């Protein structure tokens, strides 16, 4: 039994020694892998922080641009209202000018008619005067 006991003890010692070497190697490998993961995690945190800053800047730019768009839309609406008012005033002025032109034409025609009648009266008066002189 002592030969079997020594072999078992030697085998057990070899098994324990190999187990310790394997466990130590696995621990070193795990620590190296964990260190790589921590490094990658830190890089990702930094990248995330940069992306958040970029997102905040982009949001601020968007808000600024939206504010500018709103201002421009208000200005455009004001200009459109001004143009509508000017067009209304122009149409009104055109109608008044047309009415004035019509009245002026009527007045001119009426005056011409009156002048023609006065000329006719003068010619009749001259004609009668001429006839009376001839008769005298």
Res 4: pLDDT: 55
Tell me how far CA of residue 56 lies from CA of 46, 61, 62, 63, 69, in angstroms. Answer: 15, 9, 10, 10, 20
DSSP 88-120: HHHHHHHHHHHHHHHHHHHHHHHHHHHHHHHHH
Q: Look up residue 114 and give its two tokens.
A: 């009156």
Tell me the pLDDT tens digit for each residue of 3-15: 555 556 777 777 8
Tell me the pLDDT tens digit for each residue of 51-62: 999 999 999 999
63, pLDDT greater than 80: yes
Residue showing tokens 């509508």:
84
Q: What pTM does this model have?
A: 0.49
Tell me how far CA of residue 47 lies from CA of 50, 52, 70, 85, 124, in angstroms. Answer: 5, 9, 34, 56, 112
Q: What is the pLDDT averaged over residues 56-85?
A: 96
Res 1: pLDDT: 44
Q: How confident is the prediction for the chain on average, in pLDDT? A: 86
């Amino acid at each position: 039994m002592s030969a079997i006991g020594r072999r078992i003890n030697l085998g057990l010692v070899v098994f324990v020694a190999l187990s310790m070497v394997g466990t130590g190697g696995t621990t070193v490998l795990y620590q190296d892998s964990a260190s790589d993961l921590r490094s990658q995690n830190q890089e990702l945190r930094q990248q995330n922080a940069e992306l958040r800053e970029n997102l905040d800047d982009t949001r601020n730019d968007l808000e600024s641009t939206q504010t500018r768009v709103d201002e421009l839309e208000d200005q455009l609406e004001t200009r459109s209202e001004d143009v509508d008012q000017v067009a209304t005033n122009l149409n009104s002025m055109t109608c008044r000018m047309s009415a004035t032109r019509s009245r002026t034409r009527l007045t001119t025609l009426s005056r011409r008619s009156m002048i023609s009648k006065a000329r006719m009266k003068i010619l009749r008066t001259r004609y009668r005067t001429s006839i009376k002189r001839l008769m005298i």
